[in-house]
Amino acid sequence: MSRYKLGALPPQRPYGLSEMATYAVGKLPAPPASVDAPTIPSWGMMANDRLGCCTISGAGHAVMTWNAAVHEKDPVPTAIGVAETYEALTGGADTGLVEADVLRTWQRSGLFGERIAAYAPVSTNDLTGFHQAIAFYGGAYLGVALPESAEAQFAAGQTWTVEPGSPIAGGHCVWACGYGPYTAQVVTWGQLVEVSYPWLAHYLTETWAIIPNEFVEAGHGPALDLASLRRDLDAL
């Protein structure tokens, strides 16, 4: 049995919520050609070696990225904190979670004692939108149908590339926080992993842009019509 835990349940796109670019004030600028992932000494497994809490671990890795981007020191959850948050949302069972449900909770009542300002989906075939989410708002919260080959490549320290015919192990949440011309960088199981764009095109199931309050307060990133976005989120 794999020592890598998954736990992202099938995607659920909330009706009435438009894609990120729809809420731009004007038009979102073109993203830069590349964005370096932040230098983090230790990303931390965040309990994802024993629980299918990848959706919550991914949120914890997002906080670390945002802190690095705007030089804040918002509390980063411990493995115990991630496990407790995850079990509170699942009712104690190790069932995995829907990413949209995690984001709704994060925006309405908070995770780890903090709330996000807003969130919006990005089409899984919109590479520009994927890059904009990372470049302008710190990262992209991804759902993938993880093939077994990715687990083997992770163990070997290799880039995630498509191996035709590899069975799907299950749904998984990863946090994307950097990209270049040929690969993106995602955080999972406490490590930064290079992921090829053909791999993402093949296995990506959902992409979310998250707008953290730290970015809004710092005026970081192009302006979005947060009032309209929050009205749509409140109607979900």
Q: Residue 176: which CATH number?
A: 3.90.70.10
Q: Are 175 and 181 in contact (CB under 8 A)?
A: no
Predicted local distance difference test score (pLDDT) of residue 215: 87
Residue 23 lies in a domain: no
| Spatial distance between the Cα atoms of 17 and 28, rounded to a whole number of angstroms | 18
Residue 197 lies in a domain: yes
Residue 228 lies in a domain: no
Predicted local distance difference test score (pLDDT) of residue 220: 83
| Spatial distance between the Cα atoms of 74 and 1, rounded to a whole number of angstroms | 36
- Closest residue by Cα to residue 59 from 86, 88, 90, 21: 86
Residue 233 lies in a domain: no
Predicted local distance difference test score (pLDDT) of residue 2: 55
Residue 22 lies in a domain: no
Domain that holds residue 152: 31-217
Number of domains composing the chain = 1
Residue 18 lies in a domain: no
Mean pLDDT, the chain cut into blocks of 10 residues (236 residues total): 83 92 92 96 95 98 93 86 97 97 96 94 97 96 98 97 97 98 97 98 98 87 91 93
Residue 21 lies in a domain: no
Residue 7 lies in a domain: no
Predicted local distance difference test score (pLDDT) of residue 1: 39
Residue type, 31: P
What tokens were used for 223? 């302006």
